Chains A and B, each alone.
Chain A
């Protein structure tokens, strides 16, 4: 059983994805319980695998018994197990949000499980072509999920996402084809062996393959300037979907970038082709600045959060680009931390819109009185993202800056430090409006305040123009619980990182010195 854990992580959600459709033929509204059951099993398997990897080291699985490098190999090491556990836990947590927030159709939960299968597959695969296939499975599920938004503009956002995302994935495939031409293999470990020995790192084929693969993944991560699909997709999608894809999809694509950088090309490629490292760091630095500037100029909260992702993934990729142990640890910590914080922020903004109808930043005036729990969660998550200790955002940035300092890339250090101020620039005004600006209509301030866990959301709703859409939707305990859990995790994960530092460092050292 333990031997088959890596493949079960992919097989369980795929088989589970067929169940809501099949059972849905006979009984109504079975999607949620079936998805919950599948994801409970998935989370159990992921945790089990996490314990196995932590105690026994990396696990490798040969699919169908064909020996690598000819067969397809699944590899789970310290880094991938962290991402697999993140995917399983976040997917399970978001289900608590989906219980009331819906969509309640059976097909939605089938797609939801397919997305989890694609993300798990991207994480555990040890084969560059397989990574492409799982990238497209993830993409297809994500396009479909974005289109489930209530408004017709969701379909437009999904089509835009599909067209740009497909070009990104195709570029990645093109790069993988270049690698196949150069070396004749697709297995990541085998590629790492052959590159630099059989094929020179600075040969045109290898450098082009690097550019195409990184460029393709940059589209999926939504780095500037290929981020244009992301704000529409995040803000037009259904609330549940926004939480799920903002927490996981770009995160796993960034993990795939780390895999390609360190398991395929390895740090020795950076030593042989310094221009590639420079290019990657420059793209990251531009993303940090441009994403923040775009976020500051937004008036819709969800679009601001989406542009903030462009900036935060710049930080993560910057950490990977520096490629020293401290910077890569920082990148991974910020990757996991960002998933928790951004998912929580999207969840909280969904709750606020349901409870009070507020979707724009100026409508957040005095929110602390109208929806205290959601406002507190937004404040905690925003401050953690800015990098206020002990939030997880602080720990991630600390390691990235430390790594960049040790690598003496001063330009990046300056941008990284400035990024804290830039992040503060768009989150501080949100916190300021929630806690220190009275609501626009003075008479509304005297209405009885209601907790956002409650039934009385109708009463707390401002009567006038704010209740444009979604104002009367119910907010359930599960939705609030997810957001509060994200806020608690964002604070608790920070101090926990030093405790795990030994384990993380070991995994990163293995990754950087294969």
Chain B
């Protein structure tokens, strides 16, 4: 980052002067208008979530067209954080289910963190081996991996479920993280492509200095690839955080239930009943917060490294 000096500012001001005197630049106005419209279109759903989460469920339908919260209340957030009694929740048309929010948050963090650390680490090693080591059948094995990328995850759900059950790992963190802990074809493919582009000379120089593959991997490859690894880690974390189907199948127990699964209690309670919209929106907002923070902090990095270049 360069710091703007006084002269810089002065020259900019001088540049700007004639612009204001000139006629309005319609192209620029159109661009800004388009930008603002897009911004509103993007942000509006989030505003609507916030507005709904601050509403009383019983009044939502009657005030469907209002841009302000219907019958303002913090009840939905109290329900989500487990502060409301069943009676209070039902009085606002909410779900009376008890939500042990902090426990589920902890579980989500454990699952997402373990999956991210495990998957990125193991996939990096596998990708290195596919990109740099020479061993018999390497390309064939890689082809098999790529084929696995084509199999929709829903096909593996049942066999995985049976396997986890037979291993006695239902309702354990291990059962939830295992299928994605060691590798996903996408992560290996993603990193391999990057490793292929790293310059071989550096590696050869390290070998001449007596470094083995393990040392090269940890001391050279990983530091040189910190950008794509971070990207992959963030993507993995978000995926693991948002995963619903698998934890719903194997992690129903209170002690390992993750946030996404716990949010299910705000869906329809009875046949033909309507969901607890306010509670659902409040919970979704809170559950999305960690991801939003993650993006705010690391977003620039993600965008930068999507167009990653090898020689950085």
The yes or no verdict on A and B being binding partners is no
A residues sitting closer than 8 Å to B (CB atoms) are none
B residues sitting closer than 8 Å to A (CB atoms) are none
